[in-house]
């Protein structure tokens, strides 16, 4: 299991092609790059954990509502919350499905 750190989240943003958006976000909020700001930015990232794990990075959504609709259409894409909590590296994506 990988350690959760700033480089891991940077890697996620790069995979999702969202690093430039994150940098713009930092400029707007006038903050520096750190783990807290990364975690806050991930509140705006909506993707199925299974799609992310399988490398289907194009399955990124703009809203939580769109992701939930997608998951209702494809219930096999839903990951079990208890399993994901144990795999801490994907836990950041659970924050969006309340």
Percent of the chain with pLDDT over 90: 66
Mean pLDDT of 10-30: 97
Residue 69 domain-assigned (yes or no) = yes
Which range, of 2-16, 66-80, 81-95, averages the lowest pLDDT? 81-95
Asked if pLDDT for residue 2 goes beyond 60, the answer is no
Buried b (16+ CB within 10 A) or exposed e, 49-84: bbbbeeeeeebbbeeeeebeebbeeeeebebeeeeb
**Token pair in block for residue 62:** 């703009």
Backbone angles phi, psi at 30, to 5 degrees: 55, 50
Number of domains in the chain: 1
Residue 72 domain-assigned (yes or no) = yes
Residue 82 domain-assigned (yes or no) = yes
- Give tens-digit pLDDT for 50-72: 999 999 999 999 899 999 999 99
Residue 1 domain-assigned (yes or no) = no
Mean pLDDT of 70-87: 83
Domain span at residue 64 reads: 6-94
């Amino acid at each position: 299991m990988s350690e959760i750190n700033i480089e891991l989240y940077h890697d996620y943003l790069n995979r999702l092609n969202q690093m430039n958006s994150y940098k713009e976000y930092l400029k707007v909020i006038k903050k520096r790059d750190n783990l807290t700001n990364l975690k806050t930015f991930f509140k705006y990232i909506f993707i199925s954990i299974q799609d992310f794990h399988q490398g289907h990075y194009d399955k990124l959504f703009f809203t939580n509502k769109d992701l939930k609709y997608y998951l209702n259409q494809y219930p096999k894409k839903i990951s079990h919350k208890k399993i994901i909590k144990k795999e801490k590296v994907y836990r950041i994506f659970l924050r969006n499905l309340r």
